[in-house]
């Protein structure tokens, strides 16, 4: 009856997860597995079930060690070294729906912005990534105005003052998905400052997601621009 430390650790799927393989039917988009806090062993059990069923799936917050381990079970796995995002199968579908633009305030916001950009593409959208358009140099934003006005949804990733979504939303007709990042220091409080700024955007038409949640932003953008 005891659970000693030498007990076997080979875990069965039922003991660790209940995959929502039906999600595409119900919600229109496949399951995503949050890899942080899961062991390599647990991820491999989950991956084996995915390999067995052939499901499309995303893995978020997946570092290189875990990605390498997963690929041993799921060989056709795409992975981005910067976004820590993996997807299966590795090929993106042919895009449908309206165009998504992901705008990124600074170079340091790129990992999160790429997570949004790759998610939107994996979920079936044509998506552009525009970098380093922070409000400190407004001409950089204004230089992309045509591209921004042609989008069906715009994801705006920004840390620090989080001012970019307000500025962009004031210039376009489509919804802006504000994606706060933990870029910054001191009173940025790990993304709290841009999060609060975005929730209080003085332009209407701004939808906020969690700090550093590139996956959620890309998912919303794909939903909004679905054909």
Task: Give the shortest CB-61-to-a copy of itself separation in angstroms.
Answer: 8
- Asked whether position 98 contacts a copy of itself by CB under 8 A, the answer is no
Contact characters 64-93, a copy of itself, x per CB under 8 A = x--x----------xxxx--------xxx-
Burial of 91 (0-12, 13-18, 19+ CB in 10 A): exposed
DSSP classification of residue 204: S
Backbone angles phi, psi at 194, to 5 degrees: -65, -30
Nearer to a copy of itself, 52 or 98 (CB): 98
- Asked whether position 146 contacts a copy of itself by CB under 8 A, the answer is no
- Asked whether position 196 contacts a copy of itself by CB under 8 A, the answer is yes
Nearer to a copy of itself, 50 or 183 (CB): 183
Across the chain, the runs of DSSP E, i.e. the strands, are: 32-34, 57-60, 78-80, 85-88, 100-104, 127-131, 153-158, 176-180, 206-208
Q: Are 115 and 221 a contacting pair, CB within 8 Å?
A: no
- Asked whether position 205 contacts a copy of itself by CB under 8 A, the answer is yes
Rounded to whole angstroms, how far apart are CA atoms 194 and 198? 6
- Asked whether position 170 contacts a copy of itself by CB under 8 A, the answer is yes
Residues facing 131 on adjacent strands: 104
For residue 154 the two structure tokens come to 């715009």
Of the candidate residues 59, 61, 151, 156, the single one contacting a copy of itself (CB under 8 A): 61
- Asked whether position 38 contacts a copy of itself by CB under 8 A, the answer is yes
The vertex-190 CA angle with 156 and 132, nearest 5°, equals: 35
- Asked whether position 214 contacts a copy of itself by CB under 8 A, the answer is no
Task: Give the shortest CB-201-to-a copy of itself separation in angstroms.
Answer: 5
- Asked whether position 51 contacts a copy of itself by CB under 8 A, the answer is no
- Asked whether position 113 contacts a copy of itself by CB under 8 A, the answer is no
């Amino acid at each position: 009856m005891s659970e000693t430390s030498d007990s076997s650790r080979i875990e069965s799927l039922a003991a660790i997860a209940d995959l929502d393989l039906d999600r595409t039917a119900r919600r229109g988009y496949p399951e995503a597995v949050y890899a942080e806090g899961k062991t390599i062993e647990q991820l491999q059990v989950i991956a084996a079930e995915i390999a067995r069923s052939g499901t499309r799936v995303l893995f978020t917050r997946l570092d290189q060690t875990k990605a390498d381990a997963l690929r041993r079970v799921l060989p056709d796995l795409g992975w981005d070294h910067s976004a820590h995002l993996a997807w299966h199968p590795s090929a993106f579908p042919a895009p449908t729906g309206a165009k998504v633009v992901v705008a990124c305030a600074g170079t340091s916001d790129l990992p999160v912005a790429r997570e949004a950009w790759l998610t939107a593409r994996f979920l079936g959208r044509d998506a552009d990534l525009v970098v380093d358009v922070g409000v400190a140099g407004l001409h950089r934003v204004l230089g992309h105005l045509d591209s921004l006005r042609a989008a069906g949804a715009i994801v705006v990733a920004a840390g620090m003052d989080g001012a970019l979504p307000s500025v962009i939303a004031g210039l376009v007709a489509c919804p802006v998905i504000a994606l706060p990042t933990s870029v910054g220091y001191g009173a940025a409080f790990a993304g709290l400052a841009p999060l609060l700024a975005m929730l209080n955007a003085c332009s209407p038409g701004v939808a906020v997601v969690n700090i550093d949640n590139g996956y959620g932003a890309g998912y919303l953008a794909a939903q909004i621009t679905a054909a």
